[in-house]
Structure 1
């Protein structure tokens, strides 16, 4: 029973680190991903700093960077907590192994003393011949054989336990060094965070002095966005009107055919709501269903970047505005990709900004602030297919991305992958 318990214990300590290792590797990947975002934002901020004029995009990028730095510190704290748990577990394991080793050595010493007392063949023969009968003599022979085998097994268990103990001591030492390294990293990141917060305070102070200028910039942006929204609404209305016309034409042809064949006219289908005309064809219905199924799993419209302005209402100083999509800061010249297969609804330039809209059944994705679009109206596109590159403006390389269902604006963050 002691041997079985020991084997079970050794198996448990062998597999226990796997849970820690898996969690630690996930945290490490998350931390590396956050660091890549921070570096990309810093690269854009460095370029923005070369300009004489402070921009809203720069303010938002700095705020996003600070938020990411706080997230990175949170991940580091989780790594430290994981290591504390691992260190505590390994310390307990080392103490248990030391106790098991002492017990095994004690039992082995007792067997050695017994073997010393019965080391010659004469004593063994006397032990066997002293049996009451043949059956007991046979059992004593088997006992001596099994005793020798058990003694060898005990020696092997002692060696195995010592090896395990030494390994656990090495792992414990490694974990302690890793914790020390993480504590230094945490201290460094906290220093960087404090520095960036001071920089943010300076920028916000500068913003308050230039609030009137920012108000004018926001008003200009509103006017520009209103023109883009009108173009989008008109294009979608045209699509709905075309879909309605096709559905009515199909119904007229079906009725004429039935009349020519002297059959009763088919019952008139109930007219769908305006949005449902967009899914009247099997292909459109399939695209809509596919798009909806991939909610929360759609690829990003750029390979790397950070959302510096989210969906919904925003206030900058005294000025307020609504963002109908998300603004993604990315690298200069980054490729813009279709997030799902569909058909290009339009490619247009509105007040100097290239806009591409793609239809996916009753869903639409809109990509703003492109240069040199690589697709044209009516073209079929696949998921992740390049549709152009991001234009770099005074705000940096920022892509404005929207998702709509019919005429309803949806929050893209609920649709693209985390």
Structure 2
């Protein structure tokens, strides 16, 4: 029973350790990914640090770096919490194994004392010959053999338990060292976060001095984006109108077919001197919604359903990058503007990929920058600020197919990415993978 208890305790320890190790691995990968994003942003900030004029991209990069640094500290806290759980589990296991080892040693000492008292071969023989009959003598022989074997097993149990105990103590020491290292790393990240916040304060102070120029920049940005958004809306509307034209054409062909069948039926009735069949009245055609128009064909319906089913799992439009401007309304000092998507800062010339299979409905150069719109049934994805575009209108694309490269906008290489359902803008962060 005691052996079973030891095995059960060790099994629980191994199971808990494997589950925790998996979480540790996930947290470590997340922390490394965050660090890569921070390093990329810092590289971009270092590149633009000598510029006398503060840009919106710099402010967004500083804010994103602070957010990432806070995420990293949160991840480290989760790692420390996991290690605390491991330390608690391993400490309990060590105490249990120490108790079990003590009990095993006491039992073994008792057996040794018994064996010492009965070590004389003559006494063992007398113990056997004193049996009432042959069966009892045989049982006494087996008892002596089993006692000897059990004593050897007990010695093995003690040795194995001691090895397990030593192993757990080593794991406990290693975990304590890891926790100490994480606490130091956490302190370093807190110091860096403080420096980032100081940099943010300096940037905001500089922003106040350049307020007039900054407002002009934002107004220019809003006008430029409004022009691009009009082009995007027009491209989506053309796709909707094309779907409506196809639906009307199908309805016209169906009506013409029905009319031809009725004329043929009337001619047959006249030839056979039968009453003419009653002419059917075409049912009133209900105007289809935008969603119904965009998913009218089986292919479009399949694309739309596939896109929707991959919500939260769509690949990023670039292999590496950081979201430096989020979806929605933004206020910088006294100026404000709305972003219908997200801005992803990445490496200059980074490959831009389609996030899902679809059909290209727009490739347009606006103010020296190319925008691409891809239709996925009811949904559309928009990729702005491209160069070297490798697709054209009407092309079909696959998931993760390269469609161009990110162009540099002066200081940074930024991809502006949108997801739309019809004409309505959606938050891409809810759709792309974390």
Q: Which has the larger displacement, 205-214 or 265-274?
A: 265-274
Which residue pairs with 1:352 in the alignment?
Answer: 368
Aligned ranges for residues 191-270 of structure 1 at < 5 Å?
191-262=191-262, 267=283, 269-270=285-286
Aligned ranges for residues 98-137 of structure 1 at < 5 Å?
98-137=98-137
Q: Report deviation, 1:52.
A: 2.6
Q: Which has the larger displacement, 331-340 or 181-190?
A: 181-190
- Distance, in Å, in 1 between the alignment partners of 2:359 and 2:143 is 84
Give yes or no for the alignment of 1:321 onto 2:337.
yes
CA contact (8 A) 1:55 1:394 kept: no
- Distance, in Å, in 2 between the alignment partners of 1:182 and 1:34 is 16
Which residue pairs with 2:154 in the alignment?
Answer: 154
CA contact (8 A) 1:48 1:394 kept: no
Q: Which has the larger displacement, 400-409 or 141-150?
A: 141-150
Q: Deviation string for 1:286-333 (max 9, x for gaps)?
A: 111111111111111111111111111111111111111111111111
Q: Report deviation, 1:130.
A: 2.5
Q: Give the secondary structure class of the aligned counterpart of 1:261.
A: helix
CA contact (8 A) 2:6 2:97 kept: no
Q: Report deviation, 1:268.
A: 5.4
Which residue pairs with 1:183 in the alignment?
Answer: 183
Q: Give the secondary structure class of the aligned counterpart of 2:109.
A: helix
Q: Report deviation, 1:11.
A: 2.6
Q: Deviation string for 1:162-205 (max 9, x for gaps)?
A: 11111112111211211221122112111111111111111110
- How many pairs were matched up? 418
Give the superposed CA RMSD.
Answer: 1.6
After superposition, the Cα gap between the structure-2 partners of 1:405 and 1:13, relative to the gap in structure 1 and judged at 3 Å, is closer
CA contact (8 A) 2:371 2:385 kept: yes
- Distance, in Å, in 2 between the alignment partners of 1:410 and 1:12 is 46
TM-score (norm 1): 0.96
- Distance, in Å, in 2 between the alignment partners of 1:289 and 1:269 is 26
Q: Give the secondary structure class of the aligned counterpart of 2:216.
A: helix
Q: Report deviation, 1:348.
A: 0.6
- Distance, in Å, in 1 between the alignment partners of 2:128 and 2:83 is 58
Aligned ranges for residues 284-295 of structure 1 at < 5 Å?
284-295=300-311
After superposition, the Cα gap between the structure-2 partners of 1:15 and 1:257, relative to the gap in structure 1 and judged at 3 Å, is closer
- Distance, in Å, in 1 between the alignment partners of 2:384 and 2:329 is 19
Which residue pairs with 1:400 in the alignment?
Answer: 416
Q: Which has the larger displacement, 5-14 or 257-266?
A: 257-266
Q: Report deviation, 1:267.
A: 4.5
Q: Give the secondary structure class of the aligned counterpart of 2:425.
A: strand
**Consecutive unaligned residues in structure 1, runs of 5 or more:** none
**Consecutive unaligned residues in structure 2, runs of 5 or more:** 266-278
Q: Report deviation, 1:70.
A: 1.2
Q: Report deviation, 1:253.
A: 1.3
After superposition, the Cα gap between the structure-2 partners of 1:3 and 1:239, relative to the gap in structure 1 and judged at 3 Å, is closer
